Chain A
Amino acid sequence: MAECHDTTATLPPPTSGRTRHVVAMVGPPNSGKSTLFNRLTGLHQKVANFPGVTVEHRMGRMRLDIGRDVFLIDLPGVYSLEPRTEDERVTHDVLKGQMKDLPRPDAVLLILDSTNLGRHLALAAPILSLGLPTMIVLNMADDLDRRGGKVDVVELANQLGTPVALISASHGTGLNKVIEFLSGATLGIKPKPPLLQLPVIQDVPKTRDWASNIGRRTQYRAPAPPIWTRRLDAIFLHPVMGPLVFLLVVIGVFQTIFTGARPLMDAVQDIIQTSGKWMGAALPDNALRSLVVDGIWSGVGSVVVFLPQILLLFLFIGILEDSGYLARAALIADRTMYRIGLQGKSFIPLLSAYACAVPAIMATRTIENKRDRIATILIAPFMTCSARLPVYTLVIAAFIPEKALLGPFFGTRAAALLGLYVLGFLAAVVTARLLKSTVLKSARAPFVLEMPPYRWPTLQSIGLRLLDRARVFLRRAGTVILGVAVVLWILSNLPLHDGKAPEIGHSIAGMIGHAVEPVIRPLGFNWKIGIGLITSLAAREVIVGTLGTIYGIEGTSQSVGLQAALRHDLTPGGAAALLVFFAFAMQCMSTIAVVRRETGGWRWPAIQFAYMTVFAYVFAFLTNQLISLFF
């Protein structure tokens, strides 16, 4: 009954309230607002950013039985309407009709947690004083009932002068009243003023008193404390077992995104290569084929390969977040993160960055403190992502002879790889400290973290989120990455010599390589590496394929021929410098694109790119000079 069953998946933009009705969904964090939104709109939703701010909101369409559509806007979770944080400002502006490109909502659904009504009802005061048709939706009715709480819904509606529904969004009960209201709201039912006069909005204690009074008048009985949450916390926040469970979760996440995703990624790679070959065979042998197969298909493919890893990571984060464990993990990690100037909520995003900085940066949305969030975004690309591995593997295999150090499992090569992981981590720590003591110095905003009761994650919420992440990622692969792939192909295939593509050394890319050689020679790199550095701007591992093309050898990191060619062209100092450069430089279009999206402009990605490039250059230079003294 709640889901719409028509097949149109595209969502037209909301027009003025005259033809399509816009209903805003408001509520405090952890009120189950998004679960209800998912219930009501199903697949008919999309994520959008408000212009000029980093706050995102979801919009969805719901078809009513009366044959009309309602657009639902899922606004960020807020505790009050006073516009202080960005989330609150967005909610405030939308509800007051001051948001650009968005009409004032025709009605409001205020979603509150019925198990914590005293505190949550305080938000009803500023919402009701807006004078918009409003329905109070009391969520978690099942929880309230099970834990022995109760509330007189009829009396609450009477007291507040608005319709009230007692629902369970996760079980889908009580929704018919909400749908009924949405049909009514479109007919323009105005609320009556509440029986108990609304308090002065700006004052928290007064508002809270007003809420208590309403609660008392409606015989609200708060439920007993959640027993299971207490029992689980006795384990998860136990002084000894807590950190152990935490460690297991971290290792589990790391292992899955690193090893578990491997077969899936290989499968995607296979599909891309096979289809590329198939296309190559089907198309006539000309420049167009080269562009499509070597340029676009393999270029976009090299990024799409990471999709399984990203989805697995978000599956984990989704489960951790919806179950309530993420808050506990943030609590446990807070002390350690605090030492480097960050906070507990930065931990999971930074851990994710070991797989890929792109989902990690998207995962920083759980950090409410803006400065902490930016700092986390800025240091995330220093974490050794999986795209660096092909480069590391190639160079290490070419220059470091394998010798056992600690038994058969830990040799010189593993040590070198571990060293590079440590190097990236140290750079992140140094940068975080630098940022937090200068430009991003927080005005000591207190770390406040609500511990929600543990809940079963719903398949729908997690599924929709994965779908959305996949869509965002693939859209970027189809736009930014596609563009870069085409440009790179053109650069390495022009100008034509006798109607044929030139040797790479004589292509535009080759010329650029020669042009940058004076700049990179102090690092021990020649023009061939220079081309690799430029093409790897698309994605780090692209340099391996590029070097393969330049040397005319199969471009994989296991290629013995490529290793030999590199040994011939690079000094040990240059090789070490190359590793250091890749550890620190922001060689990744996708990351730049996602930082721009998440920070709402080019300023931060530009600063980040410049900083990381200079950082990489300086340390690669020092490495080359230092190692050249000994070899």
Chain B
Amino acid sequence: MQTVCLIPDRAVDDTSSQMQVRVNKDKPQGSHTGNPITSLRRGESGILDRIDLPEPDARRLMEMGFLPGHTVVPARSAPGGDPRVYQVDGSEIALRRETARHLILR
């Protein structure tokens, strides 16, 4: 499997999940749908939809907090804008643009 898409069964998940609440509240008006997180401006939030990377890489990113349904906010970066720090799931994680462009927004 080349791509990891893990949302569908999450929507019908057990009790009303905190994440879902956030999903409904913060959902952007389709402006970023299908765009990578690199399209967000600094401080602008978006909701992660999927990670278009091979399974082990996607897993690693998910363990670091880049889970589908979570809010991602770009923060500061190295000079030149790459790599950039992203605020996600209570942590600040830096990714290179070459990786971040495979993280697609909902």
Q: A residues touching B (Cβ–Cβ < 8 Å)?
A: 79-80, 82, 84, 115-116, 118-119, 122, 204-205, 208-209, 212-213, 216, 222, 225, 233-234, 237-239, 242-243, 327, 331-332, 334-335, 338, 344, 445-451
Contacts and interface: CB of A to CB of B under 8 A. Distances in A.
B90 A205 contact: no
Interface in B1-58: 6, 10, 13-15, 17-19, 53, 56-57
B95 A446 contact: yes
B83 A447 contact: yes
Q: How large is the interface on B (under 10, 10 to 19, 20 to 34, 35 or more residues)?
A: 35 or more
A79 B92 CA distance: 15
A213 B64 CA distance: 18
Contacts of A119: 65, 89-91
Given A445-B57, A446-B96, A204 B67 contact: yes
Nearest to B10: A205
Given A204-B59, A331-B83, A334-B83, A447 B91 contact: no
Nearest to B102: A446
B93 A449 contact: yes
B99 A116 contact: no
Contacts of B95: 446-449
Contact of B6 (A205, A233, A238): A205
8 contacts: A115-B90, A205-B68, A242-B78, A243-B79, A331-B78, A335-B83, A446-B60, A450-B94
Main secondary structure of the interface of A (DSSP, over half): helix
Given A79-B63, A204-B63, A332-B78, 4 more contacts: A204-B67, A208-B67, A331-B78, A451-B94
Given A212-B19, A233-B76, A118 B90 contact: yes
Interface in B73-97: 75-80, 82-83, 85, 87, 89-96
Contacts of A332: 78-79
B83 A242 contact: no
A451 B65 CA distance: 13
Residue of B64, B77, B82 contacting most chain A CB atoms (<10 Å): B64
Nearest to B51: A446
Nearest to A116: B90
B52 to A, nearest CB: 12
A116 B90 CA distance: 6
B91 A116 contact: yes
B94 A449 contact: yes
B70 to A, nearest CB: 9
A96 to B, nearest CB: 20
Q: In this complex, which of B10, B56, B75, B83 has the most chain A Cβ atoms within 10 angstroms of its Cβ? A: B83
A334 B91 contact: no
Contacts of A208: 62, 67
Contacts of B67: 204-205, 208
Contacts of A451: 85, 91-94
A116 B10 CA distance: 22
A213 B15 contact: yes
A119 B89 CA distance: 7
A448 to B, nearest CB: 6
Contacts of B18: 212, 216
Given A237-B77, A334-B83, A80 B94 contact: no
A306 B34 CA distance: 56
Given A84-B56, A448-B99, A451-B92, A205 B62 contact: yes
Contact of B62 (A115, A204, A212, A237): A204
B55 to A, nearest CB: 10
Given A79-B64, A118-B90, A450-B93, A335 B56 contact: no
Which of B67, B76, B82, B87 has the largest count of A CB atoms less than 10 A from its CB? B76
B25 to A, nearest CB: 16
B24 to A, nearest CB: 16
A334 B78 contact: yes
B90 A335 contact: no
A448 B13 contact: no
A213 B18 CA distance: 8
A450 B93 CA distance: 4
A243 B80 CA distance: 11
A190 B4 CA distance: 38
Contacts of B19: 209, 212
B27 to A, nearest CB: 18
A123 B64 CA distance: 12
Contacts of A115: 90
